[in-house]
């Protein structure tokens, strides 16, 4: 956490305790499946559920012992069985047994039977992924709502559109916010699709379900489906021990989300520079300062979101490298290589989404600075319109030839008007026509329909809250100060 600021925002979703609990949840769900198949009684389910609480286990000891078997399932099972034994010793009258194959089986023998370590870890990681996507979706929904409000409020707040770092045309901050909104709504759709497809892993030692079939003849595939149902995951229809598409699919949607968030954060960081000053993060006590420079007010949350976006593709690349090296019926190292990058990717993106939500919910928009930059660029910002319009007029070709070098110099309107008049008499182009021609608000293209389209799509979502948006100012382009 010291070198990953904001980790606490993840709610511990990927920490060691969460991973242990997810594995224990898989074992408990598998016992419930056995109960539904008639292989164990109620008391087995109750005993395992009680013992499968992460806080009852020595996490550090399980972690130390994981090296001996190459994964943490083996020591986790030893700990679980030890706790079950202690429970039974404390109450020997509670003769909890299972009834597999017509013979009594000790309670701890019912735990994990038919599964393999990869079944437990893969399924636990899918459970963690599902919880992460739920948290991620909530943060993005809140951030998207904030963007919808900004798009609505600033639909005619004019600003400079920049291409290749240079002023290009007039646009509005409302369209910028709508563009960001569309990107977040896109990834929210992808997150929902991925969330619904995260599968359970249930194949036994070599993906044949042999031990499960022996426990419940003719019902092994049903058992796998029941496990998915118990855990709220999808049923893949088959084991996927060496088909790592579920892992890479989860990784890919996380990277896509990081991309969308990173682009927004990058725009905010750039716009927060003093010489631009169009956007700022909402001030918070103790945030954004420097260890040596008292005047600094850094956009730290946006910076942290950018850092996650920079790292995420490389973590996703490890998952794809591992997927391409999975061999035989169970991978020999490539599977193990997934765990760290996947958990880090989940954590980084979940934290970044929470940070971005806070940024967008309190974003300070300086409409004066936006208008000032429009005025600084001058008529050059509408040069496309000026040249196109003038070229179609009588004597327009000569006027265009004279205008081009002046516009390259970002001429002021007061310089451009006499030049236009020198080539085009008032009968051809009146003073009112010139004023309209040079007005950036008259060359905003389809900005408002594009904003409306983004808002309509957002408002059509089941969780939309359009009623939470205030009415837009009648003329927000003339507003003073910040919002």
Structural element, H or E, at residue 163: strand 158-163
Out of 219, 330, 412, 421, the active site residue is 330
Is 235 an annotated catalytic residue?
no
Give the span between the Cα atoms of 409 and 396, in whole angstroms: 20
Please say if the pLDDT value at position 430 is more than 70: yes
Residue 79 to residue 110: CA distance in whole angstroms? 15
Q: What is the DSSP letter of 440?
A: G
Closest CA to 239 of 361, 148, 328: 328
Q: Is 330 a catalytic residue?
A: yes
- pLDDT score of 474 more than 60: no
- In whole numbers, what is the pLDDT of the chain averaged over residues? 90
* Burial of residue 480 (number of CB atoms within 10 Å: 0-12, 13-18, 19+): exposed
DSSP string, 68-79: HHTSSHHHHHHH
Residue 479 pLDDT: 46
- Helix (H) / strand (E) element for 171: namely strand 166-172
Q: Largest Cα–Cα distance of the chain, in whole Å?
A: 108
pLDDT at 295 over 90: no
pLDDT tens profile 172-221 = 999 999 999 999 999 999 999 999 999 999 999 999 999 999 999 999 99
3-state class (DSSP) for residue 482: strand
Contact predicate 344/255, CB 8 Å: no
Q: How far apart are CA 483 and CA 481, in angstroms?
A: 7
The top-scoring range by mean pLDDT among 91-100, 109-118, 297-306, 345-354 is: 345-354
Supply 15's token pair: 């920490």
Crossing angle for the helix pair 245-271 and 300-324, to the nearest 10 degrees: 160
pLDDT digits (tens, 9 = 90+) for 88-138: 776 655 544 444 443 334 677 889 999 999 999 999 999 999 999 999 999
Q: Are 173 and 479 in contact (CB under 8 A)?
A: no
Query: If you search the block for the tokens 């319109």, which residue do you land on?
Result: 385
Cα 158 to the center of its chain, rounded Å: 29
Instruction: Give per-residue pLDDT as tens, 43-87.
Output: 999 999 999 999 999 999 999 999 999 999 999 999 999 999 888
223 Cβ partners below 8 Å, 6+ apart?
Answer: 33, 37, 114, 202, 209, 212, 215, 216
Which residues in 182-210 are b (16+ Cβ under 10 Å) and which e?
bbbbebbebbeebbebbbbbbbbbebebe
Closest Cα to residue 140, out of 174, 184, 200, 103? 184
Residue of 64, 282, 287, 290 with catalytic role: 290
C-alpha 133/C-alpha 127 separation (Å) is 10
Q: What percent of the chain has pLDDT over 90?
A: 76
């Amino acid at each position: 956490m010291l070198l990953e600021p904001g980790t606490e925002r993840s709610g511990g979703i990927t920490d060691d305790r969460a991973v242990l609990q997810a594995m224990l949840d898989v074992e408990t769900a598998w016992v419930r499946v056995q109960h539904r198949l008639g292989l164990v009684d109620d008391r087995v389910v109750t005993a395992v559920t009680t013992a499968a609480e992460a806080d009852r286990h020595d996490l550090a000891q399980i972690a130390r012992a994981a090296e001996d078997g190459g994964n943490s399932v083996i020591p986790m099972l030893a700990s679980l069985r030890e706790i079950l034994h202690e429970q039974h010793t404390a109450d020997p009258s509670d003769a909890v047994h299972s009834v597999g194959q017509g013979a009594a089986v000790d309670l701890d023998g019912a735990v994990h039977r038919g599964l393999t370590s990869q079944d437990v870890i893969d399924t636990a990681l899918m459970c963690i992924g599902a919880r992460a996507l739920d948290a991620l979706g909530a943060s993005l929904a809140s951030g998207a709502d904030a963007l919808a409000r900004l798009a609505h409020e600033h639909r005619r707040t004019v600003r400079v559109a920049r291409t290749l770092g240079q002023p290009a045309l007039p646009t509005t901050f409302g369209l910028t916010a709508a563009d960001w909104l569309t990107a977040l709504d896109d990834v929210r759709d992808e997150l929902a699709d991925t969330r619904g497809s995260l599968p359970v892993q249930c194949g036994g030692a070599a993906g044949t379900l042999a031990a499960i079939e022996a426990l419940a003849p003719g019902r092994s595939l049903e058992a796998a489906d029941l496990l998915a149902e118990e855990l709220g995951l999808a049923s893949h229809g088959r084991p996927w021990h060496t088909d790592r598409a579920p892992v890479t699919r989860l990784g890919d949607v996380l990277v896509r989300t990081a991309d969308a968030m990173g682009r927004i954060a990058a725009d905010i960081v750039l716009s927060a520079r003093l010489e631009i000053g169009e956007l700022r993060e909402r001030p918070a006590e103790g945030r954004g300062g420097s260890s040596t420079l008292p005047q600094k007010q850094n956009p730290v949350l946006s910076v942290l979101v950018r850092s996650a976006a920079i790292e995420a593709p490389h973590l996703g690349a490890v998952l794809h490298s591992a997927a391409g090296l999975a061999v035989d019926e169970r991978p020999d190292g490539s599977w193990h290589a997934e765990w760290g990058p996947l958990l880090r990717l989940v954590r980084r993106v979940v934290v970044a989404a929470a940070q971005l939500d806070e940024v967008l919910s309190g974003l300070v928009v300086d409409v004066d600075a936006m208008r000032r930059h429009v005025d600084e660029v001058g008529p050059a910002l509408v040069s496309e319109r000026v040249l196109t319009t003038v070229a179609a007029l009588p004597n327009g070709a000569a006027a265009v030839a004279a205008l081009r070098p002046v516009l390259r110099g970002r001429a002021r309107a007061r310089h451009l008007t006499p030049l236009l008049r020198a080539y085009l008499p008032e009968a051809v182009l009146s003073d009112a026509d010139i004023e309209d021609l040079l007005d950036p608000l008259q060359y905003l293209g389809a900005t408002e329909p594009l904003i409306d389209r983004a808002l309509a799509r957002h408002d059509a979502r089941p969780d939309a809250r359009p009623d939470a948006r205030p009415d837009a100012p009648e003329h927000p382009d003339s507003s003073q100060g910040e919002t």
